[in-house]
Amino acid sequence: MKVETILSQIDLGAIALPEFQRGFVWNRDQVRGLMDSMYRKHPVGSLLTWQTKTEDAIAKGDGQLAAGTVNLLLDGQQRITSLYGIILGRPPKFFDGNAQAFTGLHFNLDDETFEFYAPMKMSGNPLWIDVTALMQQGVGEFIKRIMAIEELQPSLTRYIDRLNSVASIKTIDLHIEQVSGPDKTVDVVVDIFNKVNSGGTKLSKGDLALAKICAEWPSARKEMKKRLEKWERAGFNFKLEWLLRSVNTIVTGEALFSALADVTPTEVQHGLTHAEKSIDTLLNMISSRLGLDHDRVLGSRYSFPLLARYLVQRGGHPVDYREQDKLLYWYVHTFLWGRYAGSTETILNQDLHLIEDLDGGLDCLVAQLRQNRGDLRIHANDFRGWSKGARFYPLLYMLTRVNGSRDWCSGHILSSTLLGNLSSLQIHHIFPKALLYRHEYSTPDANSLANFTFLTQECNLKVSDRDPAEYLPEYAAMHPGALESHWIPTDPDLWRVDRYLDFLDVRRELLANAANEFLGSLVSGQIPEALVSEPVMEREVVVVPGTIADGDEERLILECAGWVEEQGLPSGELMYECADAETGDALAVFDLAWPNGLQEGLSVPVALLIDEPDETINVANRAGFRYFIDVDAFKEYVEREILAVDAVAAD
């Protein structure tokens, strides 16, 4: 079928996109590569469609479907969407992605290359042709422009041939394979999709469950995304599958998505409403009582489906502050000990069954944790972790917030609501890394959790990379008690760089004592202090304290993460914790990782490890990760093996 006919069929609703397909993810290099291949008449692969009755179709978007039957595009979305956008100058109705990927494509009549519009390079140059304008207006208008320029006359025939070759892309025949028949259920078709879509992202069990829900409630995905966008504006990034898991536990009491098979659309809608309210309540509780008020310090995300069900069973809120604090006590320990770090569905199901008896369910959850750990007390050695990805990093931040730690420069209690551009909280190395490296301390020692504290940006800039033996006495005299509020040892001898390891040992003891005191107050039901922050779901502007973007290494990692997203690939996980699948014990923390691969389920796990010790690299190797210690080498891998920049990847 000719390309232009396929595009017409989309407008008529005869060809559509199945709901379970993810959005458009190609980047400009891939779009450019497709057009170059088609211009040169290179093969670009066939399409695969699923012919089904219109009334049974699970189609994406709000376009009107043709009566009778419709062909749902299983393989070819990226190619057809790109061609649709370039030829018709607008995205199709089922479009979900970044239209900039195919907007502004130009063709050079002289060297026959496709590039996206660059004003300095192309403005006023008649040899650069707007491809979309050519497709819309035809070659005649452009031939007139060339004929009007005398110096282009000798090459007129050659230029006309090239204009016609570009325009003829829309008349190229693409072969279409079709699957049809009453035996082709959604489950069967998704299996086919996963097998043929080797260049794309494999569908998860959550995707399939959502596809079935969307068949009867077409706006389900849109409604869920609205909730995710709301939480993102408040500073929390959650995934669609995570929200669906919460809906599932609320509606069915089970963790497995298969439990949704017989659930009605009305039940799902009610479940989503309850999930949104419960998650709002949880975020406010965790923020106000624990001070964990942004994405980087929000641990144990997979405890939320259980917490949400618990709250729904309780009518939306804990009975009183005692129950709230015990619930939060359990929550904190789930991220400290990695309760949901491995075999998530199995563990979650076990815990869901424990809360069926509301009267004793919460005690059962705590008892289960205590049985697994043997001891829920915090010990000094627990703070021996290093890097901002360690499990105890959120605990350190939490202690800073709930214990009223004071800024060294102003003496004010630290909070996320301090006013002014320089008042956001930042991570501070008490002993500067540069100083420690000069004295030959290792990277894990320099980045030890016990060397971290939090200050306002203004104070952090003032302290800079000074020797603590010089600056700590100044702030101790300026604001008595401010250093102690950060659990800084008061012995000045421990502020010398040669006593750094002793400083860490003493501070770990102080932190462990503070942690046990606070957690003990939660579980014992002591009257809580006043809220430590505004209700997190009511704020409009998010100030993110303790951001990872401190220091050259962290900035490099963030820039790399942003680059990957610009390529239309899945978001990586910053500070990814690699845990033992059976015990849940943390093995190492990777700077940036894709545990399911850059093409989820189809490519190997990948990790970026900048300036990491051999121990971390060995963990990555044993866990089956393809790891990179250099950003340039990582980008080369992505371009060569994932994006196939120099070739058109089948979609």
**What sign results for the dihedral spanned by CA atoms 247, 253, 259, 263?**
negative
Instruction: Give the model's pLDDT for residue 585.
Output: 62
pLDDT surpassing 90 at residue 573 = no
- Do 26 and 568 touch, CB atoms closer than 8 A? yes
Instruction: Give the model's pLDDT for residue 646.
Output: 43
Q: How confident is the model at residue 36 (pLDDT cuts 50, 70, 90)?
A: very high
Instruction: Give the model's pLDDT for residue 481.
Output: 94
pLDDT in tens, 488-510: 999 999 999 999 999 999 999 99
Instruction: Give the model's pLDDT for residue 558.
Output: 75
> Mean of the per-residue pLDDT values for the chain?
84
pLDDT surpassing 90 at residue 553 = no
Instruction: Give the model's pLDDT for residue 483.
Output: 96
Instruction: Give the model's pLDDT for residue 204.
Output: 65
pLDDT in tens, 270-282: 999 999 999 999 9
Q: CA distances (Å), 118 to each of 30, 105, 114, 128, in order?
A: 18, 10, 12, 10
- Do 247 and 265 touch, CB atoms closer than 8 A? no
Helices 344-354 + 304-313 axis angle, to 10? 20
Give the residue-averaged pLDDT of 576-591: 70
Q: Token pair of 516, please?
A: 């046990």
Say which residue the tokens 């202690």 belong to: 399
Q: How confident is the model at residue 174 (pLDDT cuts 50, 70, 90)?
A: very high
Q: How confident is the model at residue 458 (pLDDT cuts 50, 70, 90)?
A: confident
pLDDT in tens, 301-322: 889 999 999 999 999 999 888 9
Beta-bridge partners for 606: 594, 626
Comparing 3-7, 83-87, 519-523, 561-565, the range with the smallest average pLDDT is 561-565
Give the residue-averaged pLDDT of 59-85: 89
- At position 527, the amino acid (one-letter code) is I
Instruction: Give the model's pLDDT for residue 171.
Output: 95
Q: How confident is the model at residue 644 (pLDDT cuts 50, 70, 90)?
A: low
Query: Who has greater pLDDT, 247 or 28?
Result: 247
Cα–Cα distance measured from residue 111 to residue 197, given in angstroms and rounded to the nearest whole number = 34
Q: CA distances (Å), 371 to each of 269, 358, 364, 368, 423, in order?
A: 37, 20, 10, 5, 43
Instruction: Give the model's pLDDT for residue 472.
Output: 96
pLDDT in tens, 74-128: 888 899 999 999 999 999 998 988 888 899 999 999 999 999 988 888 888 999 9
Which has the closest alpha carbon to 92: 116, 71, 62?
62
pLDDT surpassing 80 at residue 406 = yes
Q: How confident is the model at residue 648 (pLDDT cuts 50, 70, 90)?
A: very low
Comparing 144-158, 248-262, 535-549, the range with the smallest average pLDDT is 535-549
Query: Who has greater pLDDT, 645 or 109?
Result: 109
- Sheet order of strands, 586-594 included: 573-579, 586-594, 606-608, 626-628
Cα–Cα distance measured from residue 362 to residue 356, given in angstroms and rounded to the nearest whole number = 10
Winning range, highest mean pLDDT, from 73-77, 297-301, 467-471, 556-560 = 467-471
Instruction: Give the model's pLDDT for residue 549.
Output: 34
Q: How confident is the model at residue 417 (pLDDT cuts 50, 70, 90)?
A: very low
- Do 595 and 576 touch, CB atoms closer than 8 A? yes
Query: Who has greater pLDDT, 433 or 580?
Result: 433
pLDDT surpassing 60 at residue 480 = yes
Q: How far apart are the first and last CA of the chain?
A: 18
Say which residue the tokens 């990491």 belong to: 612
- Do 66 and 114 touch, CB atoms closer than 8 A? no
Instruction: Give the model's pLDDT for residue 478.
Output: 94
Domain residue spans in the chain?
3-186, 201-373, 380-538, 552-643
Give the residue-averaged pLDDT of 60-64: 82
Q: How confident is the model at residue 163 (pLDDT cuts 50, 70, 90)?
A: very high
pLDDT in tens, 505-548: 999 999 999 999 999 999 887 766 554 456 666 655 443 333 33
Q: CA distances (Å), 339 to each of 44, 203, 512, 570, in order?
A: 47, 26, 20, 25
- At position 193, the amino acid (one-letter code) is F
- Do 589 and 575 touch, CB atoms closer than 8 A? yes
**High-pLDDT (> 90) share of the chain, %:** 40
Comparing 13-17, 81-85, 231-235, 338-342, the range with the smallest average pLDDT is 338-342
CA dihedral 251, 257, 260, 266 (to 10 degrees): 60
CA dihedral 511, 513, 514, 518 (to 10 degrees): 140
Comparing 377-381, 395-399, 556-560, the range with the smallest average pLDDT is 556-560
Q: How confident is the model at residue 338 (pLDDT cuts 50, 70, 90)?
A: confident
pLDDT in tens, 428-443: 899 998 899 899 988 7
